[in-house]
Copies of this chain bind each other. A is one copy, B any other.
Amino acid sequence: MSNKLNITHPTLLLDVEKCRGNIDRLSTKMAREDVIFRPHFKTHQSREIGRWFRDYQIDKITVSSLRMALYFADDGWKDITVAFPVNLLEINIINDLAGRINLNLIAEDADVLVQLDHVLHHRVGIFLKMDTGTHRTGIDPADIATTDACVKAMAKSANLVWKGFLSHAGQTYLVRHDVEDMGVVYKNSLQGIIALKEHYHSQYPDIRISFGDTPGASIMDDFSHIDEMRPGNFVFYDMMQVQIGSCSIDEVAVAMICPVVASHPQRQECVIYGGGIHFSKDSILRDDSKATYGTVVPYSDGRWDSSQEQGYVRSLSQEHGVIKLLPDLIESIKPGQLVAVLPVHSCMTAQCIGSYLDHDGRRIDHFASTKYFLQ
């Protein structure tokens, strides 16, 4: 086995060409559909990868925390939406950012908006977070009283500028390879917000609907009624997205390269150095209803080969991964070799590892290993 990159421990390898292809494909599609494309940078969390988006005329981004916003603002991004309910305790970061970039925050509570207004020194955009069925956060679109209270709180404020409605259609993750099903999810998720936008239209003609998620952005063809899309995962994709049908396995742009450390022929299993601290513990169910934490493919000479599935990760503990191999492979995969694992959830995996290696052996930054995240 050639080990061109001298990998000795779990290392997240990035295929730059696949990644740029993913960015190109979706930015072209969003431009064609005349939708504002505000990609979510919580997946890659990298300044260098962020800069690649500029080649595709992207100048608006989404992040998932105020400190992540700071990380990207300090690299020159001037228009950032923090798609997470506003955290009043981080008012110092809010005021710092609001003084130098176009900062959008999300809120769902009139009291929070009033409190925010009291401590804010600059103008910020506000999207109202709407719950379109996932019941994690957000206002029920049928709850006009709460929406009205929020709109009134903003109307009284000089610094809170209402930008529109924002929602995350988490239910798209339940769809499997079906454009029609995806369309139904979109229709059901959007109808309440569309009605609200019309309700407020005469008084607020400029408010927008910000929507979006990787499955919908990848699979759907009709984005009418949607002003802005915020997918993130598409930059790398992962095995969850392959299962949903958002991408092919060949479009997955990251793989964890892991040393094999033990072999158990009687169980057709091998053990890798690569566990929950490297992958996170997100899993999906395979067709045979068994949980998997990643798909194993061959690695050689600085590249993985996604055309040959060798097995899957059946369990993860802190540092160990147990791989169930396809029959007949146990004799060819031995301790001291490396395998590639296509992760189930690339956002979490990148967060765990905190950097990328490209095919040329160059390190690419990740927010999680900077002072912006570490305390």
Give A contacts to B, CB under 8 Å. Answer: 3, 7-9, 11, 42, 64-65, 67, 84-90, 92, 108-109, 111-112, 115, 135-137, 259, 261-264, 267, 271, 273, 276-277, 280-282, 315, 317-320, 322, 334-336, 338, 347-348, 351-355, 357, 363, 368-369, 374-375
Q: List 27 A-B contacts (CB under 8 A).
A: A7-B89, A9-B65, A9-B87, A9-B89, A9-B90, A64-B319, A65-B319, A85-B262, A85-B273, A87-B259, A87-B273, A88-B335, A89-B336, A111-B335, A135-B267, A136-B315, A136-B317, A136-B322, A137-B262, A137-B271, A277-B368, A281-B281, A281-B348, A318-B347, A318-B351, A352-B352, A354-B374
CA distance A218 to B264 in the complex (A): 32
Contact partners of A11 in chain B: CB under 8 A: 375
Assess whether B348 is in contact with A375, with CB atoms less than 8 Å apart: no
- Which 5 residue pairs across A and B have the least CB separation, nearest first? A85-B261, A88-B336, A8-B89, A281-B281, A85-B262
Majority SS at the chain A contact face: mixed
Nearest residue (CB) in B for A373 is B354
Nearest residue (CB) in B for A366 is B374
Contact partners of A320 in chain B: CB under 8 A: 84, 136-137
Knowing A282-B281, A336-B88, A375-B11, say if A318 contacts B109 (CB, 8 Å).
Answer: no
CA distance A362 to B317 in the complex (A): 30
Assess whether A271 is in contact with B85, with CB atoms less than 8 Å apart: yes
Neighbour of A375 across the interface among B92, B135, B334, B353, CB < 8 A: B353
CA distance A24 to B356 in the complex (A): 41
Nearest residue (CB) in B for A281 is B281
